[in-house]
């Protein structure tokens, strides 16, 4: 998904932005977890759980929106087991 919605001429740029997001998560994630889970205790864990749930719910909606507005074709993921069985 990190490059499936990118135009063919801009795949590298899209992957670069995707990498920035992953790097940001690695840099800010531990500090955020310390503040929420250790400082806030149980309510902090509820906040972390809610963030994960909201992110999981928002991701498919964001992909569908991007496919509609960029003219992308739906992604078809085939199982590698099909090739092994043939």
pTM, rounded to two decimals: 0.62
**CA 14 – CA 70 distance, rounded (Å):** 14
Q: Are 2 and 18 in contact (CB under 8 A)?
A: yes
Q: Average of pLDDT values for 48-70?
A: 90
pLDDT digits (tens, 9 = 90+) for 66-83: 888 876 455 555 555 655
**CA 11 – CA 2 distance, rounded (Å):** 9
**Which of the pair, 2 or 11, is modelled with greater confidence?**
11
């Amino acid at each position: 998904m990190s490059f499936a919605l990118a135009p063919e001429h801009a795949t590298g740029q899209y992957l670069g932005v995707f990498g920035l997001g992953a790097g940001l998560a690695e840099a800010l994630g531990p500090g955020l977890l310390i503040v929420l889970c250790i400082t806030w205790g149980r309510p902090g864990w509820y906040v972390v759980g809610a963030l994960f749930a909201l992110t999981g719910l928002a991701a498919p909606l964001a992909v569908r929106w991007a496919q509609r507005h960029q003219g992308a074709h739906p992604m078809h993921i085939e199982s590698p087991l099909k090739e092994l069985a043939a």
